[in-house]
Amino acid sequence: MKIEEQTTIVIGVEHLIGRVEQFRKGGYRLVQLNCSKIGEQFEINYCFEREYRFENIRIVIDFETEVPSISGMYWGAFVYENEMHDLYGVAVKGMNIDFQGNFIRTSVQYPFRNPSFQGEGPCQEK
């Protein structure tokens, strides 16, 4: 079996719903969705697969940008979207199940937006 290179296409947030709809209509399944803080922006990656071929799209947003939910097309995306909200503070509009900040309970609001936790752990010196 030949393993093909994965592609990642950067799109504007305004094109997200249209592009995801193309994947849905094309028979792709949602594999995962993740968020990373890069400087003062977020990179959100959406990964889709069909017949062992992965296609990735990425949006880059600032902290105040609202992202439309894809859970209307890929029902299970609400898990990833709630996680992005609770850990990074990404505003996701229109989730099919919105836990309103209570999906992942943390001691600090949006801990991955401004990581500053200085607690003790097994890898830190005392």
Q: Average pLDDT, stretch 109-122?
A: 68
- Nearest of 65, 63, 72 to residue 40 by alpha carbon: 63
Query: Which region among 1-15, 28-42, 51-65 has the lowest average model confidence (pLDDT)?
Result: 1-15
What per-residue confidence (pLDDT) applies to 1? 60
Instruction: Give the pLDDT band of residue 118 (cuts 50, 70, 90).
Output: low
User: Letter for the amino acid at 50?
Assistant: R
Asked if 86 and 36 count as a contact pair (C-beta separation under 8 A), the reply is no
What per-residue confidence (pLDDT) applies to 7? 86
Please spell the DSSP secondary structure of 29-67, one letter per residue: EEEEEEEEEETTEEEEEEEEEETTEEEEEEEEEETT-EE
The burial class, CB within 10 Å (0-12 / 13-18 / 19+), for 64 is exposed
Tens of pLDDT, residues 87-113:
999 999 999 999 988 899 888 889 998
Architecture of the domain whose range is 7-93: 2-Layer Sandwich (3.30)
Tens of pLDDT, residues 43-86:
999 999 999 899 999 999 999 999 999 999 999 999 999 999 99
- Rounded to two decimals, the pTM is 0.85
125 has pLDDT over 60: no
Q: Helices (H) and strands (E) in the chain — how many of each?
A: 2, 6
Fill in the DSSP letter of residue 117. Answer: -
User: Letter for the amino acid at 1?
Assistant: M
Give residue limits of the domains in the chain. Answer: 7-93
Instruction: Give the pLDDT band of residue 117 (cuts 50, 70, 90).
Output: low
